[in-house]
Structure 1
Amino acid sequence: MASFSWTEEDVLRCCGSKRFSKELASASPFRDLHHAIQSAREIWFNKIDVAGWFEAFAARQAIGATSPSVSEWCKEEQSAGMVTATGTTLRELEEWNIRYKDKFGFVFLICASGRSTPETLAELKKRYLNRPLVELEIAAKEEMKIIELCLARLLESDARSNNSVINLRVSSSTTVGDRLGIIGAHLVASPQASSSKLPAISGSSSRPRPPITTHILDVARGTPASGMDVHLEMWKGTTQQPSFLNRESTEWVLLGSSTTNADGHSGQLMGIVDHITPGLYRMSFDTGKYAPAGFFPYVSIVFHVREDQTSEHFHVPLLQSPFSFSTYRGS
């Protein structure tokens, strides 16, 4: 199968971040769509800073708006669910878009393919209640979903223009444009399109990243926490799990270590596998080294991966300051 390359101008049709476009174009050539999307995700989440995210957000039109967006493909994606919208619903959506942008400073982003207008409006209202840092992460993930759809359409368009066969890893009975949704971090069919039997993009692992990830935000400074050491361990003791009193047991086995980059993201802490081993995991952060004057010398977060969760993704972020910290399970 032939490989392919994209220019910065090509990628800019899919994402308004100039640095992202330059980085992805530089990562060419790609073996197939799966390779291209894996590269795009790595760049978006590990190399693009918050300013780059905002630049991309600014290039998007608001849901339900009719002004130009990055490209007609992306505009089609964002407006797909608006076809049957009533005037009343559109007016309410417009009002909530204004509220959202006033609160967070950027337009409401959602991969709208396969969603009705009421569903989109309900999600907007729900996310409006989020804290800014939480909503920023969600918006970045939704932007990546939109980028993935646009890249798929870009490749399909290139294949048609060149009258050549490119490995899209899509069955002959369907096209990339038929993919109506993105769930989690994978390209899949939306529930509304389940009857299409669209195949997932294949590869050595269906995951684009390790099953356990983290990033750290310094809420005292309002910036990502770069240069913090992170360790991931798994409980391998003779008991099912350590008790509260022996939580510092040597039966914790180190899986991987990393130091956060300028965007607060850690490197890979474990291998990329389809199914994670169920059990107890511990992620530890060297907050004392990062902020010597702080109250906490280190922070350890212990969490449980259950038997029915082995194919799920566990994002365990840390929001920290010298005298407090919090966490949550991300996606």
Structure 2
Amino acid sequence: MAASYDFGEEEFQACCGSSKFAREMVSVSPFFSLEQAVDAARRIWFNQVDVNGWLEAFSAHPQIGQASKSSNQTSAQWSKGEQSTALATATGSSLQELAEWNIQYQKKFGFIFLICASGRSTDKILAELKKRYSNRPIIEFEIAAQEQMKITELRLAKLFSTKQNVSSTKESYPPAFARKVEEDRVSIIGGHLSTVSGASTGKTLQTLTRTRPPITTHVLDVARGSPAAGIDVRLERWIGTQPRPLFGEVDVGGWALEGSSATDKDGRSGQLLSMVEAINPGIYRISFNTGKYFPAGFFPYVSIVFEIRESQKLEHFHVPLLLSPFSFSTYRGS
């Protein structure tokens, strides 16, 4: 019989500083696997925790390069470990530059710069901070929330490892989640939870396991400053006779429907693609029925075409739509 794992609010709040998140995780406990807990965490964080909860979680982190001031000792200890690579590769001048950019970032966006720092050097963190500083606030807020989720997934793995023993691990957990998570040997990439451990041969083994479909989207109504609910969404893949649709060429019959859904109250679509480990490379198109949402708007519909290459088939592709009656924009999220 599979073992169940029950945790309290304080333990979940060590993983994510939002008190709402911790309460909701307790309410759906116990969990029978780390994978089940991660699925619940993603659902709660993105669909049930509000803006204030996101900001509460952000504020529980120290600035990169500084010690944690959290009253939660577990969180403070984990934060120190997650920054160990950055601190080990830092110089006096790089720490000073990082501190100055942290201040500029917080003045612009109103919250600290958040990044899953485990395994990242100071130079790489600083480069990412400078890159993200040019983002618009609405985009950066979404990126920060995604980074918080990566940190939460990493910490949930650590939390579970404290209550596992060898026998229960073998019986209850898939390999990607069963092995003990070690500091600076875990890398979260685009929503994938990757656990690195030593095999019996002494070699390093890395296993990637998806926690969500490989292509996702959401829609934000930037005119109203809120999620856009009730927008029909279609995901299609190019299967035409040409390797790719040519610019200006009629593409009748060239697209195959992969899935369809409608955005919920948080602006997120339902599952558009099966939960597969490796997605088929090719040209994809996400289309949004924007005319129904904005009847007096300029766009009867919006289609976003993008390419997934062979080398990217294990990655996650989040393709959101930022929409107003007379403009729209998109970007590749994580």
**Common fold, TM-score beyond 0.5?**
yes
Residue of 277, 300, 304 corresponding to 1:301: 304
Q: Across the two proteins, how many residue pairs are aligned to each other?
A: 320
Quick check: 2:61–2:68 contact (8 Å CA) kept in 1? no
> Does structure 1 residue 200 correspond to structure 2 residue 207?
yes
User: Counterpart amino acid of 1:146?
Assistant: I
Quick check: 2:67–2:80 contact (8 Å CA) kept in 1? no
How does 1:303-322 map onto structure 2 within 5 Å? 303-322=306-325
Residue of 65, 75, 82 corresponding to 2:79: 75
Structure 1 pair 152/174, CA: closer, same or farther in 2 (3 Å)?
closer
Distance in 1 (alpha carbons) for counterparts of 2:156 and 2:77: 9
Tell me the equivalent position of 2:194: 188
How does 1:238-249 map onto structure 2 within 5 Å? 238-243=241-246, 244-247=248-251, 249=252
Structure 1 pair 275/49, CA: closer, same or farther in 2 (3 Å)?
same
Partner-residue secondary structure (3-state), 2:78? helix
How does 1:33-52 map onto structure 2 within 5 Å? 33-52=34-53
Structure 1 pair 177/145, CA: closer, same or farther in 2 (3 Å)?
same
Q: Offset of 1:213 from its aligned partner?
A: 1.0
Tell me the equivalent position of 2:199: none
How does 1:109-148 map onto structure 2 within 5 Å? 109-148=114-153
Distance in 2 (alpha carbons) for counterparts of 1:310 and 1:180: 20
Tell me the equivalent position of 1:9: 10
Q: Offset of 1:235 from its aligned partner?
A: 3.0
What percent identity do the matched residue pairs reach? 56
User: Counterpart amino acid of 1:60?
Assistant: H
Q: Offset of 1:154 from its aligned partner?
A: 1.6
Quick check: 1:212–1:314 contact (8 Å CA) kept in 2? yes
Residue range with higher mean Cα deviation, 106-115 or 150-159? 150-159
User: Counterpart amino acid of 1:35?
Assistant: Q
Distance in 2 (alpha carbons) for counterparts of 1:240 and 1:66: 52
Distance in 2 (alpha carbons) for counterparts of 1:236 and 1:84: 48
Q: Offset of 1:207 from its aligned partner?
A: 1.5
Q: Offset of 1:313 from its aligned partner?
A: 2.1
Partner-residue secondary structure (3-state), 1:277? coil
Structure 1 pair 280/75, CA: closer, same or farther in 2 (3 Å)?
closer
Partner-residue secondary structure (3-state), 2:65? coil
Q: Offset of 1:326 from its aligned partner?
A: 1.5
Structure 1 pair 159/73, CA: closer, same or farther in 2 (3 Å)?
farther
Residue range with higher mean Cα deviation, 294-303 or 70-79? 70-79
Partner-residue secondary structure (3-state), 2:111? coil
Q: Offset of 1:169 from its aligned partner?
A: 4.7
How does 1:209-288 map onto structure 2 within 5 Å? 209-243=212-246, 244-247=248-251, 249-288=252-291
Quick check: 2:115–2:147 contact (8 Å CA) kept in 1? yes
Q: Offset of 1:135 from its aligned partner?
A: 1.6
Q: Offset of 1:284 from its aligned partner?
A: 0.9
Partner-residue secondary structure (3-state), 2:285? strand
User: Counterpart amino acid of 1:142?
Assistant: E
How does 1:152-191 map onto structure 2 within 5 Å? 152-159=157-164, 165-166=168-169, 167=172, 169=174, 175-178=180-183, 179-188=185-194
Structure 1 pair 287/108, CA: closer, same or farther in 2 (3 Å)?
same
Quick check: 1:64–1:79 contact (8 Å CA) kept in 2? yes
TM-score by length of 1: 0.85
Partner-residue secondary structure (3-state), 1:200? strand
Distance in 1 (alpha carbons) for counterparts of 2:150 and 2:316: 16
Residue range with higher mean Cα deviation, 4-13 or 85-94? 85-94
What's the CA shift string for 1:237-279, capped at 9, x where partnerless?
Answer: 44444453423x2443322221212222111011111122233
User: Counterpart amino acid of 1:68?
Assistant: K
User: Counterpart amino acid of 2:288?
Assistant: F
Distance in 2 (alpha carbons) for counterparts of 1:37 and 1:307: 27
